[in-house]
Amino acid sequence: MLFLLSPAKSLDFATPPQVATHTPPLFVKQSTELIKVLREKTPTQISDLMSLSDTLAGLNVARYQAWSPKFSVKNAKQAVLAFNGDVYEGLDAKSLPAADLDWAQAHLCILSGLYGVLRPLDLMQPYRLEMGTRLATAQGSNLYQFWGAQIADYLNARAAADTSPVIVNLASEEYFKAVDRRALKPRVVSCVFEEFKGGKYKIVSFHAKRARGLMVRYAIDRKLATVKKLEGFDAEGYRFAPAVSGPDRLVFRRQQAG
């Protein structure tokens, strides 16, 4: 199985990584092309394009200028240790030993507006470029057109070694849209996390993001190899809800936030 996650806006480049192992990112040529386009934008244009404050726009303009197609431990950090949002707090990769990070490297892909796909140990330089950004390039008016079928083709190649290839989608809708479903060959299984609130079960964004990270951590800790094994997920009070689930849509519910 391959697990898909979204990236995070929050980054942590201050905490030293607990492992030295790292790999080069996969789509440096494409990232370089996007950086070239971004470098042509003024701070005001970046602010308007991404709905950022002047301070954040200035920070990211500086990041684009500093970005280099040559990656090293001096200018970059392993992606799964650099991202620091709700999903990654649930995953808590900073507490994983090297052997578990190696397993994650073989089973987890992080979708990215700038990098396309990042493996957990791929070096990443700091950036801000959400997949839904309407950044015009030679390929079209947005990043979905820029990436086209490239991400799906990569996932196909990764999954080809499995006898029954499955992609477990734990990415947001914004990011999973970057995977061309017409080109994607493996079966896709989605996980849904719901809270009982106001008399009914519903998805609460903050909790759902954390739960996606918790699910990946659950899989890493147990080296899960089948979709059926995902049904045992029980972190922070969640339980599998078979009555509202389907073969390709696993629903997990809890009465209240843990």
Query: pLDDT tens for residues 62-74?
Result: 999 999 999 999 9
Does residue 71 sit within a domain? no
Does residue 50 sit within a domain? no
Give the pLDDT confidence score for residue 30 in this predicted structure. 98
Q: What is the pTM of this model?
A: 0.96
128: its two tokens: 């801000």
Q: In one letter, which amino acid is 199?
A: G
Distances (CA, A) of 170 to 33, 110, 111, 190: 28, 10, 10, 6
Average pLDDT in the chain: 96
| Whether pLDDT at 233 is above 70 | yes
Q: Which residue has the tokens 């009465």?
A: 255
Does residue 32 sit within a domain? no
Q: What is the number of structural domains in the chain?
A: 1
Q: What is the mean pLDDT of residues 3-15?
A: 97
Confidence of residue 164 (pLDDT cuts 50, 70, 90): confident
Q: Which residue has the tokens 């990011």?
A: 175
Give the pLDDT confidence score for residue 258 in this predicted structure. 53
Q: What is the mean pLDDT of residues 75-83?
A: 98
Q: What is the mean pLDDT of residues 32-54?
A: 97
Does residue 34 sit within a domain? no
Q: Can you state the percent helix, strand and coil of the chain, rounding each to 5?
A: 40, 20, 40
Q: What proportion of the chain, given as a percentage, has pLDDT over 90?
A: 95
Does residue 247 sit within a domain? yes
Does residue 157 sit within a domain? yes
Structural contact between residues 252 and 241, judged by C-beta atoms closer than 8 angstroms: yes
Q: What is the C-alpha separation between 244 and 242, in angstroms, rounded?
A: 6
Confidence of residue 190 (pLDDT cuts 50, 70, 90): very high
Task: Give residue 224's domain range.
Answer: 2-26+76-254
pLDDT in tens, 101-122: 999 999 999 999 999 999 999 9
